[in-house]
Structure 1
């Protein structure tokens, strides 16, 4: 791969469903962006979604070395967070309801939902939510509890049900993404809309983190890191920029070897005060692999900053080369990586 193609593997840009603009397609192509998140809301069903996914995949060319297609991702949790619906897509209940099902039922239903996504050309679900929202907090938890996105109020329930969700998706060949590490269940503010969101109770060895360990052991291919700050873990950095969280907790404590993806670094209020290029570089320096932005307008600045850092910092370049390998390994699992002979 060329240097530009390798750098492109470190980014997940956005495509609006059911159609995306020529301008967005041009940016994705220009910067060799290796992964795409489908954003918005669509009721057009499986086959029209597949047409968009196929168009996106056509942006990646085949060379003598082979072809690295796109990871095509979507937020398909259930309840109020289900981007894709319409013919061929089942309505998915909120995770809070899924949390009351038997493991066998949830695993089976998850396999069905994943098969529908795969038919639509989607190979990554940005789910399940591994956050634990204690009963005493409930709907006062802005990002998760307010919308019933949690499987339950205890680490045991979330770990059990989240693992069943992951296992069902794995059976259908769709990668899952545990989020939002190390947990957003105890905060009040939503990092999408609030600049300073801080958790003052979670520690490095809190029981709440067990839900992520369980999901990793069940086979989750990706883990998404939150944009909150954790006062008892690393008060100086947001989790997404924290080597303690990303490398120390996720890589070393939990032994995760898959792809670490950021929460949105494009539009989220939590990172508004940080320049786009610095957001991308700081996440990758902390140990992350895949920079996610729902705002393609920031991609040029992000790619340029990462490219510059890789040219001038040998340690950073080595760090990103390891990330490229992890992303390509995920693509191999998803069936979109083909090597030449």
Structure 2
């Protein structure tokens, strides 16, 4: 999933999307241009990407609400922050999310990388940079978070929009932001932590993707950040949550995972059990693609695992009307 500007692909970005045969594209950066302009962008992306017959590129956005609503302007409601959404009844949030999803669908967006299931303790609301200070979480009570994650996911699903619950196993207990800090450590969360309730609720509600946090969890796997941890992906997501959908990374251009080459970042994530890489810096995407192709060519076992991962992504696309796998 390659990131481009919300105003549409530049010449270089268009070249990258074509070269990488991007299966998914995320619109990054805020735009006030409105739904019609975003529709033009999504059409332009689909013209640029040479998708195989019967398979379409998936267009995604971060449309959480509040300070994280990438697509704005005419045709898009102003979505309240998750903290404000939590004040709505579950039924009202489901209806609202369905309406917000319909607006995305009309603009050519297929996936909303939301909802946020991170639980931020009340004592950390003002110092937790990735979630609390931005009002991105549904609250400090795991039961409330689970209910609102379910309501949001259900509404988006009714509108035909894929969703991604994030950031597993939680960014609510850290202080630093993995996009900007080279090492972010959660020293509290455990494998069977009650704060994971929102993620489990999202899986039960039929979420299409689970996004893995780039933080390191010292009480779960102190030796690997989330995207490179088999314990987190294969153990917790696949075994504990029994999730059979797509495991997606957070942006692997983030500082917390920048110590490796782009190719190694992709390979480590895939080897740990992940399926779909987000790369917010399009200039790094071709190196990732080349590394994965080379590994698949040289290692038949890796190639077989890669086929399983591709099948998960295509199954998700078929569910959302983006692929005909018949």
Equivalent residue, structure 2, for 1:304: 290
1:139 CA displacement = 1.6
Displacement of 1:228 after TM fit? 0.3
CA–CA distance in 2 between the matches of 1:61 and 1:227?
31
Report the Cα offset of residue 61 of structure 1: 4.2
Query: Matched residue of 2:102: which SS?
Result: helix
CA 1:62–1:227: 2 relative to 1, 3 Å: closer
Distance 1:300 1:36 in 2: 14
The yes-or-no answer on 1:112 pairing with 2:99 is: yes
Q: TM-score, normalised by structure 2?
A: 0.98
Deviation for aligned residue 1:67: 2.2
Whole-angstrom CA distance in 2 between matches of 1:77 and 1:207: 23
CA apart distance, 1:238: 0.2
**TM-score normalised to structure 1 length:** 0.94
Structure 1 CA distance, aligned partners of 2:184 and 2:49? 38
Quick check: 1:81 aligned with 2:88? no
Are 1:324 and 2:316 matched, yes or no?
no
Give the secondary structure class of the aligned counterpart of 2:301. Answer: helix
Equivalent of 2:4 in 12, 15, 27: 15
Tell me if the contact between 1:310 and 1:316 (Cα under 8 Å) persists in the aligned partners.
yes
Task: From 89, 92, 103, give the equivalent of 2:79.
Answer: 92
Q: Does 1:227 align with 2:210?
A: no
What's the CA shift for 1:71?
1.1
- 1:275 equivalenced with 2:264 (yes/no): no
Q: Cα distance, 1:138 vs. partner? A: 1.0
CA distance in 2, matches of 1:339, 1:220: 20
Q: 2:139 is matched with which residue? A: 152
Deviation at 1:59, TM superposition (A): 3.0
Question: How far apart, in 2, do the equivalents of 1:140 and 1:154 lie?
Answer: 18
Q: Which residue of 2 aligns with 1:40?
A: 29
Counterpart residue number, 1:4:
none
Question: Does the 8 Å CA contact 2:178/2:255 hold for their aligned counterparts?
Answer: yes
2:122 is equivalent to residue 141 of structure 1? no
What are the equivalent positions in structure 2 for 1:63-74 lying under 5 Å apart? 66-74=53-61
Return the offset for 1:60.
4.1
Equivalence for 2:247: 260
What is the rounded CA distance, in whole Å, between the counterparts of 1:316 and 1:247 in structure 2? Answer: 16
Unaligned runs of 5+ residues in structure 1 are: 1-11
Contact 2:146–2:202 at 8 Å: present in 1 too? yes
- The residue matched to 1:72 in structure 2 has which SS? strand
Per-residue CA deviation, residues 46-82 of structure 1 (Å, 9 max, x unaligned), is: 111011101111234476xx32111110000000000
Report the counterpart of residue 292 of structure 1 in structure 2.
278
Corresponding residue for 1:336? 322
User: What is the SS of the residue equivalent to 1:261?
Assistant: strand
Is the deviation greater in 39-48 or in 117-126? 39-48
Q: Is the 8 A contact 1:175 1:221 kept in 2?
A: yes
What does 1:178-217 correspond to in 2, within 5 Å? 178-217=165-204
Instruction: After TM superposition, give the deviation of residue 170 of structure 1 in Å.
Output: 0.4
Determine the C-alpha separation between the residues in 1 that align with 2:120 and 2:50: 44
Give the superposition deviation at 1:315: 2.0
Distance across 2 between alignment mates of 1:281 and 1:164 = 35
Q: 2:111 aligns with which of 121, 124, 136?
A: 124
Q: CA RMSD in A?
A: 1.1
Please report how far the alpha carbon of residue 18 of structure 1 lies from its aligned counterpart in structure 2 after TM superposition.
1.7
1:273-310 deviation digits (Å, cap 9, x = unpaired): 11111000000000000010110111121111111111
